[in-house]
Amino acid sequence: MKVMISAFVASLVIASAAPVVLGQFGWSSAEQESSATSVRLD
Amino acid sequence: MNLKLLGAAVFVLATLSFNSVWAEEAPAVDRTATGGAQTLEDIMARQQKLKVDETFRSENLGDPANAAPMTDQLGTRGGVSDADTYRSIRYNEFDANTQVRGPAADVMIQNGGISWYKLREGPIITYGGGALLGFIALLAVFYLIRGKIMIDGGPSGTTVQRFKAIERFGHWLLAGSFIALGLTGLITLMGRSFLIPVMGPDVFATLAAGSKWVHNNISWSFMLGLVMTFFMWVAHNIPGKLDWQWLKAGGGIFTKSHPSAKKFNAGQKIVFWAVMVLGFSVSLSGLSLLFPFQMPMFAETFSVINSVLGTEFATALTPHEEMQYANIWHSIMAFVMMLAIIAHIYIGTVGMEGAFDAMGNGEVDVEWARQHHDLWVAEVEAKQSKGELS
C-alpha cells in the first residue's frame, strides 16, 4: 500500500511541477500566442 | 431472481440503444420563387431540428466570370455581391486579411463548431455515459450471478512475490492519474448538462476550472505511467498459443475451471494492449488539445486512411476542425478505455479473491497463483530451486 500511496503522491507532484517545467521551455499553453507577441503593428 | 435482473439490464441497455439523437433529413425544397435563396420551409425545417442541406447558400458565393465590366453600373465588385461576401464569411470561404498572427486568426465564422457542439452534447454524452452506466449494471448483474471467484480450497497462507515495487509504482502512477483524468474529464464533458442544474453556475465554474487544471497537468503522470508499464510488461504480454486455449475456456469464469497461464493470462493481455493502444491514442489527441493548433494530426491521418481504404475523408481541415476532431476522438477513446478499466478494476477487487494483493503489497497467495497462473508459479519455483542449489 505504501507504493500505491507514493505513486499517487508522485502523480500530484508531477502535475504541480508540469506547468513550471513546461514554462521553462516556453510551452505554456496559457501564455502561447498572447497579444503582445502575436499582433504585428506595421 | 437472477434472470429477472438480467432481463432488467437488457431492457435498460435496449432503451439506451434506441435513444434517438440523430437529426432526420429535411424534405427537398423548391427555391425557384426566391431565386435560389432561403425559403420559409428552410427556416421551419431548422426550427424542427431537421437536417437542412446548406449547399444552396454555402456554394452560392458569386461568380467573377459573370462580373459586369468596370465601366458598367455595379461592375466594380467583380461579380460578387455583398450577400455573396457575407455568405463566404459565414462558410469560411472568404480570403480574410488580418494583422493577428496567431493560428486560425483569419477564420471569422467556423461552421463545423455547431456540428462539433451537437455531437459533443448529444451522442457522445448519451452513448458514452449510457455505455458506462450499462456496463456497471452488467457487472453488478454478473456479480450477483457468478459471485466472487474464490480460491479453491482456500488460501494456503504462503505467498510469492508477483510484482516488484517499481512495477506497482508504475501501475499506480498510471491508475491513479487515469482515475483523476476520467473523473475530471467527465466533469468537463457532462458538467454543463448535469452539474450546473444541481450546484449552480458559480460553484460549477470553480469545479470546472479545478478539473481543467488537474486534467491538463496530471496527464503527464499518466503518460509517464503508460511508458513505464509498457517497457516493464510488454515482454510478458506477447500473444501465444496458450492464450487461445485460455480464451476458448473463457478464462474458466463460467466453467469454474483454471486454464493454464503464464505471468499474464489472455484476459490480462487484452487489457494490457487495450490500455497501451487506447492510452497512446488518447495521449496523442490530448497533446493536440493541450497545445492548441500546434499539433494538427487528423488531416494527415485521414489522408493515409483515404490512400489505404479508398475512403473520402476531408483532408483540407481548418485549424478549428483539427481541434474538434481531436476533442471528439479523445472523448471516444477515453470512454472505451474507461469501459476496459472498469472491467479490470472489477476483477482485481470485488470479482476475485486474492487478486488485489498482487498490486496491493506485491505478494500473492501461492494457491491463488497456482490456480490462475500455474506456469508462472512453476517458472518462479524452478528459479528458486536453481538458486538454492547454486
- Test mutation, B164, B171, B172, B361, chain A, max A CBs within 10 A: B172
* DSSP code, position B122: I
Instruction: Indicate yes or no: CB of B176 within 8 angstroms of CB of A19.
Output: no
- Summarised one tens digit per residue, pLDDT across range B82-120 is 888 898 888 888 888 888 877 778 888 887 888 899 999
Contact list, B216 vs chain A (CB under 8 Å): 18, 29
- Of B31-40, B58-67, B143-152, which range is least confident? B58-67
Mean pLDDT of B123-151: 94
By Cβ distance, the residue of A4, A14, A33 closest to B168 is: A4
> Residue B321: what residue type?
E
Mean pLDDT check: name the lowest of B64-68, B113-117, B161-165, B254-258. B64-68
pLDDT at B27: 84
pLDDT of B225 higher than 80: yes
Per-residue confidence (pLDDT) for residue B199, from 0 to 100: 94
Is there a contact between B291 and A29 if contact means CB atoms under 8 Å apart?
yes
Task: Report whether B189 contacts B152 (CB < 8 A).
Answer: no
Residue B208: CB atoms within 10 A of its CB come to 18
Q: Would you say residue B62 has pLDDT above 50?
A: yes
pLDDT of residue B127: 96
| Number of C-beta neighbours around residue B181 at 10 A | 23
| Residue range B236-253, pLDDT digits in tens | 999 999 999 899 888 887
B-chain residues near A40 (CB < 8 A): 99, 101
Report the first-to-last Cα separation within chain B, whole angstroms. Answer: 59
Average pLDDT over every residue of B154-158 = 87
Cell, residue B202: 458559480
pLDDT of residue A30: 52
Residue of B nearest to A10 (CA): B173
Mean pLDDT to the nearest integer, B247-269: 86
End-to-end CA distance of chain A: 62
Q: What is the pLDDT of residue B388?
A: 66
> What are the CA-CA distances from residue B42 to residues B2, B98, B119 (Å)?
52, 34, 22
Q: Is the per-residue pLDDT at B20 higher than 50?
A: no
